[in-house]
Amino acid sequence: MADLVLATDDSGGPEIFASLQGEGPSMGTPVAFIRLSRCNLACQWCDTAYTWRFEGDNRPHRDGVHYDRSANQVKLSPEKAAAKVAALGQKRLVITGGEPLIQCGPLADMLAILPDIEVEIETNGTVRPSAHIDIRVDQYNVSPKLAHSGNPAELALIPERLDFFAGDPRAFFKFVVAEPSDVREVDALQREYRIPRDRLFLMAEGTESSTLRERQMWLSALCLEKGYRMSDRMHIHLYGDARAT
């Protein structure tokens, strides 16, 4: 049985913690979080670059920081990871990253040990979940990456994967936007893949409350005009841009 590769918290231990979900349709819900390491994309504004931008990785990021892999990754068996999640005593688990679905095998093994917990997976929408994972998922939070992320469309917007998630009523789409012009790209994807508007969120990009509030002023008007839902980043207002929050 393969190990899970996790991100680390500030103590160097695995980033498994209890908090309130800060984004999307479950915002405000008490949950357990597990943050997996590694990602198949590289967003230039990513706020968890410590999960993928290790020394030697020259994919661009606005901060220009490289992280030491040995200090920011830790391996756990599915059994140990499940035990740490269960010890938090929460009814719902949010699996985030990085990109969690690139670790389908050990992730499925962990979920098989946690049969009574609700499962929410945060994904960039480029990887189709295995059947062993899909059967245990209650909600997908799909965040396709727009052009301003810096990812080539052929890597970030895969038609077969977007079709899959758009057709699944458990999947909610959360688009990160930095400028009003980004919403035109969202409009095109919504039309092409027939994403239901009540399952589509726009979320301002930002890691400071002031930036989020400024962008939400024009974003709220666009949501009202277009019938999209707006997501805050509640954890930023509560805890700042910190690990294990």
Please write the tens of the pLDDT for every residue from 105-115: 999 999 999 99
Q: What is the number of structural domains in the chain?
A: 1
Question: Which domain CATH number covers 197?
Answer: 3.20.20.70
Name the average pLDDT for the chain.
Answer: 97
Residues 30-87 pLDDT 10s: 999 999 999 999 999 999 999 999 999 999 999 999 999 999 999 999 999 999 999 9
For 154, residues 6+ apart whose C-beta sits below 8 A from its C-beta are none
- What is the pTM assigned to this prediction? 0.97
Residues 126-143 pLDDT 10s: 999 999 999 999 999 999
What one-character DSSP code corresponds to residue 50? G
Residue 166 lies in a domain: yes
For residue 230, what pLDDT is reported? 98
Residue 142 lies in a domain: yes
For residue 1, what pLDDT is reported? 79
3-state DSSP percent of the chain in helix, strand and coil, to 5: 35, 20, 40
Across the chain, how many H-helices and E-strands are there?
9, 10
Residue 153 lies in a domain: yes
Residue 20 lies in a domain: yes
Residues 162-174 pLDDT 10s: 999 999 999 999 9
Residue 244 lies in a domain: no
Residue 245 lies in a domain: no
Residue 101: pLDDT over 90: yes
Give me the domain span that covers residue 34.
4-239
Could you give phi then psi for residue 238, rounded to 5 degrees?
-80, -45
